[in-house]
Amino acid sequence: MQKNKRPLRKSIFIGCSVFIVLLCFILSILTYRTYTASLYSAYQERMKDIIAYVESHIDNDDLAECVATGVESDRYYELRDFMDGIMEDFDIHYLYILMPVTDENGQPVMMNILSADTAIGRETEPDGLELNTLMPDDYEQKDILLYKKAMAVGHDITYFKNVSIWGYDYTGLKNLYDKDGNCYGALCVDVNVYEMEREIRVHTITNVILIIVLGLLFISLFLIWMNRNITIPISKLEKSVVSFAERSHNQKDPGQLNYEDPHIHTHNEVEALSDAIAQMSTDMRDYVRSILDAEETVKDMASKVSHMDMVAYQDSLTHVKNKAWYDKIKERVDSDIASGKAVFAILMSDLNNLKKVNDTYGHEHGNEYITGACHEICVVFQHSPVFRIGGDEFVVLLENSDFEHREELLAELKAKFSETYNDMSKEPWERYSAAMGMAVYRPGEDISMDDVFKRADSLMYKDKLESKMGR
């Protein structure tokens, strides 16, 4: 480019324009985040005080006994009246105690323990939510999972947004424990956040509009000054740039990012600037194209990686985890054994009569036999990972609550298989049967998960022989 011979004010124009754009962008983000954080922090402190105040009036042992027996005590009614008073005195949406449970069909459902209401609400629109009332239609599965995730935190208060049939609320949740340290419910406070977030939006939009108006006013005044003080070649260049900017605003098609060259031949910095802008528009168009191409490539790669993960670790027939995932879990369990933290058991299950079903009724029914038996295992051990490590072999890793109730769960599974096997009204491929063996990890004796697996496999083999002899 030709060396500048005469000083121009273009650098001032570019600097001011960039400054205004960045100012609008940064101040808008800061305004929104600062105001949002401040408002939510204030509500969290308020909900924390309400939860602490209500919790101080709860007799956990008495309330836990009410939940266990389903009978309201005098203290229960006193607590309900007290919580009703809180509803009257504080600007909150809901105040309640609930507990996610499982219904008779094994489906997650929310159980009401105590729901506060205003005096007018109890007189005119009673909700009918008594102690231990199940609410299958009031909470969707996603809502129940949201509460379970919040309760998994432990003794701390958890805050989360909750969109349900009850409204759009910001919820504060704290677990309640009996004298034995068992969680029997969760105390929750809901604040309606629709108005709060509307206030945030209005406040942010008002500030953004004010910033934009001030920025446009500054630019307009500056352009008036520049039009009065800069030569005709600069005016031509300015028109071309503005035209390009208008066409480029919110433009999604890179092919429309075309710059109309004003063909300035002043042999000074104006011509150099015009050439630079023309080149910049071309580079911008190419850059946008490259970004769009890169985004499509990344999306395609992410989709392929996700699919590969699913294929790599999920059994294609039963959709439980496969042998590859079992090997990864084994690494984690062996690490727990090495660090002395391991507490687990392994259930080995081998389906009976699969070859007979395949040979007699075909592999399609054989697959139904496998998936049906797998389903029964998953239903009983719904809190434990199930792995299909062979054609008719399944492994269950029992930890936590399933480990504590392993004998009852094993008996339940055996009873279920016995029931289906002896039900002559079912099709042969619906009469499931399996040999099972369960082994518990022995600290100091077992040095790896394989040691426990071998004992479980041996017990399963023994069970299979005994079942054949019994027939």
Q: What is the pTM of this model?
A: 0.43
- Domain span at 112: 57-192
Domain co-membership, 416 together with 443: yes
Domain co-membership, 325 together with 296: no
Domain co-membership, 342 together with 270: no
Domain co-membership, 429 together with 373: yes
Write down the pLDDT at residue 31. 79
| Residue 161 in domain | yes
Q: Which of 141, 163, 192 is the last residue of a domain?
A: 192
pLDDT at 181 exceeding the cut of 80: yes
Q: Which residues contact 402 (CB under 8 A, 6 or more apart)?
A: 381, 383, 384, 409
| Residue 2 in domain | no
Write down the pLDDT at residue 387. 96
Tell me if residue 360 falls in helix, strand or coil: helix
Separation of alpha carbons 236 and 260, rounded Å:
11
Task: State the CB neighbour count (10 A cutoff) for residue 326.
Answer: 19
What value does the mean pLDDT take over residues 7-16? 70
What value does the mean pLDDT take over residues 416-435? 92
Domain co-membership, 402 together with 333: yes
pLDDT at 457 exceeding the cut of 90: yes
Token representation of residue 317: 């027939």
Reported as a pLDDT band with limits 50, 70 and 90, residue 270 is confident
Domain co-membership, 328 together with 466: yes
Reported as a pLDDT band with limits 50, 70 and 90, residue 208 is confident
Domain co-membership, 378 together with 432: yes
What does the CA dihedral 400, 403, 409, 414 come to, rounded to 10 degrees? 140
Strands (E), 254-331: 321-322
Token representation of residue 81: 């009246």
Write down the pLDDT at residue 1. 45
Domain co-membership, 276 together with 188: no
